[in-house]
Chains A and B, each alone.
Chain A
Amino acid sequence: MLLELREIQKRFGGVIALRHGNLSVDAGEVHLLLGENGAGKSTLMKIVAGMLERDGGEMLWQGRPVNLRRPAEAAAIGIAMVHQESLLAPHLTVAENIFLGRAPALPGGFVDRRRMQRDAARLIEERHFPLQADWRVDKLSPAGKQLVEICRAIQHGSSLLIFDEPTSSLSEAESGEVFRIVRELRQRKMGVIYITHRLEELRAVGDRVTILRDGETVHAGPLADISTTGIIQQMVGREVTTIYERQPVPPGEELLRVDGLNRAPLLKDISFQLRAGEIVGLAGLVGAGRTELCRALFGLDRIDEGRVQVGGEEARIRSPRDAVRAGLALIPEDRQKTGLARALPISHNLTIAALDGLSRGGFLDGAAEQRLVQQHIERLRIKAESGNQLAGRLSGGNQQKVVIARWLVRGARVFLFDEPTRGIDVGAKVEVFQMMDELARSGAAILMVSSELPEILQVADRILVMRQGRLAGELPGRTTPEEIMRLAALEAAA
């Protein structure tokens, strides 16, 4: 056995990412590692690659126990990783990246550039890669960058190569190229671990499969022995713990209508409607285009084609300003980065989108602002000493409330929630759901992006599923995780 992981554990603060991580890979084997978003796949692989240290369990490399504390140590024994986001030096050439950290040396600390160039060129030529040793890496496509990482792994004499979702950013032709290379690596008796989200790729490349769910290995075995349906069941088959149940309200007038929205390269022909009082879930795998759809609707990315109507009126949205004026609100996934001004008081954060209505001739109506702030702190039960407290000092859940309250103050009617429960604890999640419910009851329309299927199932009245930039279908709110995964991960009608 090349690599064996036994009962690997890893926690981040109070969150358990891995509790029973088991995996074994043989030389000359392509091993698929599957699981839902957040099942612990990347964490497990980062432990293998020395990027994270495990809290418990055993790791055996060629039968001997090892303890890797740095990526360099993993590289030294022959483990390499091709990352989701390329970890190359963008301003250097292909050859320089392949030899990064191990450039052939001349006496006196000089680099033997000619030898480096020659060896890199030979390596590329042998594999028929569409690359040139002297190209700059930042000019390469995502696929090209992955090829460079693969070359680096081969050059370093790695015997195990980990692909972390290698095809999520690749075109079909490029994926075909990656598969060809994976097969070649197998022939050279290298071990390959291949993390993927897209189930239809499975059969093309894998020998064996390990499925993770909630940080636990729930299935391991030959790929031929398990059906695709079986895989989906294993991936989502946890008991759905009900933390919240919403009573839908009868939907009212149409508040948002999207017709034939296109944006290259990802979003294709997207049409849907949202009605007042509705909470619509938007499900899909990582890279399916959910966040991109929200960004396009909110004017952060220009749409190429398509009509957007808000409240029955044509909306030409070219900037967030236009979106806000039309009555849209975006509660972004990354609150720290794009939601809050952490160094400013809560009050400023609350009213920042509504100052047009709170000022006359550019001068603020301080008293009116104060009233609104107080009112919304109470209404949303934001736990703060006062409106003057800095927003960055609030807990995650309360920060989320401030971002939501900002749009209540503004009077938005269409809310786009991008992963509203990410990084907040269960109690705060329920409060966020209650807030969304209250919003819907007061006549707002809500689109909720979430990777947490149980949460979508508990909150949404109906569910839109995206797959590779398209709406793959619509499901009623009372559907099953299996149905969602089927739409999200498989070819339509497959």
Chain B
Amino acid sequence: MIQRLLPFLTLIVLFVTLSVASPYFLTSTNLSSVVRQTAVINIMALGMTIIIIAGGIDLSVGSTLALGGLLGTMMMERGWPIGAGVAVGIATGMLCGLLNGFLTSSLRINPFIVTLGTLGILRGSALIISNGLPVHQIPPAFSFLGEGTVVHVPFVLWILLACAVAVHVLLEHTKLGRYAFAIGSNPDAALYAGIPVAFHTTAVYTIGGMLTGLAGMIEASRLMTGQPTAGQGYELQAIAAVVIGGGSLRGGEGSVIGTLVGAFIMGLLSNGSDLLGISPYLQQAIIGAIIILAVAVDELRKRRMA
């Protein structure tokens, strides 16, 4: 039980430590900047949670994010309304997820390989489409998505909450969620129970892609550019958030609340390091160590259970 709560305790300890260690930590400017920084990874990680629960993995989310953000902003550059641009970004992510899902479930290729391939394909596509150049001609109002405030709270936090609730409901209260757990927990048993495994696997990747597309638009809004090189290395952060939050790469385990906690742990670590003047190089090493630690603790718990 203690080990299950470990991510929460870690988050609380981090929060308290940073409050004591730095006078700037508990200011609303700083906290809202943590929220804004974390939101992009967080929303991607929510999609990753469903995929990992269903026994998959998506290494292409960084590239998906870039392609979604790029196409969305390009449409705005051409004079499309902001809403339509955002919709294009989300739809792009959705199609990328559909592609991943189709390749893994229909061709039965290991998702690690499939998404390693699409990581390259999608990144390459973004660079080809943009000629390697970022999109700058974006309507100023678009910055509200990433930087705006609603009822004293960053707009992205509302979006994140809405996504979290939606994914939680999806996982716990829908057929799709139940099937995702079943497929991830024991794919053979899922097949024997008459679950359309291929369809639901594809659906899971598609939903993950949609969330990544949305994250891509938020990232574009925060930078006010459509960057074909955006999101490099984000896949590792998203996977790390899920794993630190108790998701298992063997499938069948994971939760929305765990993933949120995992993402915020990483967000606080990065913010804290900035505040305390710790080198960003060291930050990366720390996050890597924490991933290994989280998984090791989880393994120990399971071994004791078995």
Give A contacts to B, CB under 8 Å. Answer: 298, 300, 319-321, 323-325, 330, 332, 337-344, 348, 351-353, 355-356, 359, 362-364, 366, 406
How distant is A437 from chain B, measured CB to nearest CB, in Å? 24
CA distance A352 to B196 in the complex (A): 12
How distant is B303 from chain A, measured CB to nearest CB, in Å? 14
Nearest B residue to A356, CB-CB? B175
CA distance A352 to B191 in the complex (A): 11
Q: Which of A344, A362, A406 has the most CB of B within 10 A?
A: A344
Asked if A321 meets B189 with Cβ closer than 8 Å, knowing A343-B253, A359-B174, the reply is: no
Q: Is B84 interfacial (CB 8 A cutoff)?
A: no
Nearest A residue to B192, CB-CB? A338
CA distance A75 to B189 in the complex (A): 40
- CB-CB < 8 A to A332: which residues of B? 192
Asked if A359 meets B175 with Cβ closer than 8 Å, knowing A342-B186, A348-B182, the reply is: yes
A353 and B193 form a contact (CB under 8 A)? yes
A341 and B192 form a contact (CB under 8 A)? no
A362 and B253 form a contact (CB under 8 A)? no
> Which 3 residue pairs across A and B have the least CB separation, nearest first?
A324-B194, A341-B185, A341-B186
- CB-CB < 8 A to B196: which residues of A? 319, 321
- CB-CB < 8 A to B179: which residues of A? 352, 355
CA distance A300 to B194 in the complex (A): 10
Asked if A344 meets B252 with Cβ closer than 8 Å, knowing A362-B175, A362-B176, A364-B174, the reply is: yes
CA distance A352 to B189 in the complex (A): 10
Q: Is B178 interfacial (CB 8 A cutoff)?
A: yes
Q: Is B264 interfacial (CB 8 A cutoff)?
A: no
Nearest A residue to B174, CB-CB? A362
- CB-CB < 8 A to A320: which residues of B? 191-194
- CB-CB < 8 A to A344: which residues of B? 181-182, 185, 252
A324 and B185 form a contact (CB under 8 A)? no
CA distance A378 to B196 in the complex (A): 29
Q: Is B188 interfacial (CB 8 A cutoff)?
A: yes
Q: Is B173 interfacial (CB 8 A cutoff)?
A: yes
Nearest A residue to B252, CB-CB? A343
- CB-CB < 8 A to A321: which residues of B? 194-196
Q: Choose one: A341, A351, A353, A362; the contact of B252 (CB below 8 Å).
A: A341
How distant is B58 from chain A, measured CB to nearest CB, in Å? 22
Give B contacts to A, CB under 8 Å. Answer: 173-176, 178-179, 181-182, 185-186, 188-196, 252-253
B185 and A364 form a contact (CB under 8 A)? no
Q: Which of A338, A343, A351, A355 has the most CB of B within 10 A?
A: A343
A-B contact pairs, 23 of them (CB 8 A): A298-B192, A320-B194, A321-B195, A323-B194, A332-B192, A337-B189, A338-B189, A341-B181, A341-B185, A341-B190, A342-B186, A343-B185, A344-B181, A351-B178, A352-B179, A353-B195, A355-B178, A355-B179, A359-B174, A363-B175, A364-B174, A364-B178, A406-B193
CA distance A362 to B173 in the complex (A): 9
CA distance A389 to B175 in the complex (A): 20
CA distance A353 to B182 in the complex (A): 11
B253 and A352 form a contact (CB under 8 A)? no
CA distance A343 to B186 in the complex (A): 9
Q: Interface majority SS on B: helix, strand, loop or mixed? A: helix
CA distance A363 to B178 in the complex (A): 10
Q: Choose one: A319, A323, A342, A352; the contact of B178 (CB below 8 Å).
A: A352
CA distance A356 to B173 in the complex (A): 13
A353 and B194 form a contact (CB under 8 A)? yes
Q: Given known contacts A323-B194, A337-B189, A341-B252, what 13 new A-B pairs fall within 8 Å (CB)?
A: A300-B192, A321-B196, A324-B194, A325-B194, A340-B189, A342-B186, A343-B186, A344-B182, A348-B178, A352-B190, A352-B195, A362-B174, A366-B173
CA distance A352 to B187 in the complex (A): 13
Q: Choose one: A338, A343, A348, A364; the contact of B188 (CB below 8 Å).
A: A338
CA distance A398 to B140 in the complex (A): 63
- CB-CB < 8 A to B252: which residues of A? 341, 343-344
How distant is A127 from chain B, measured CB to nearest CB, in Å? 40
CA distance A352 to B178 in the complex (A): 8
Q: Which of A319, A324, A337, A355 has the most CB of B within 10 A?
A: A355
- CB-CB < 8 A to B253: which residues of A? 343
CA distance A374 to B173 in the complex (A): 18
CA distance A338 to B193 in the complex (A): 9
Q: Choose one: A323, A348, A406; the contact of B181 (CB below 8 Å).
A: A348
Q: Which of A300, A341, A355 has the most CB of B within 10 A?
A: A341
- CB-CB < 8 A to A362: which residues of B? 174-176
CA distance A277 to B111 in the complex (A): 46
- CB-CB < 8 A to B194: which residues of A? 320-321, 323-325, 353
How distant is A330 from chain B, measured CB to nearest CB, in Å? 6
- CB-CB < 8 A to A339: which residues of B? 189, 192
How distant is B172 from chain A, measured CB to nearest CB, in Å? 9
CA distance A344 to B181 in the complex (A): 8
- CB-CB < 8 A to A324: which residues of B? 193-194
CA distance A324 to B194 in the complex (A): 6
- CB-CB < 8 A to B190: which residues of A? 341, 352
How distant is A354 from chain B, measured CB to nearest CB, in Å? 9
How distant is A457 from chain B, measured CB to nearest CB, in Å? 28
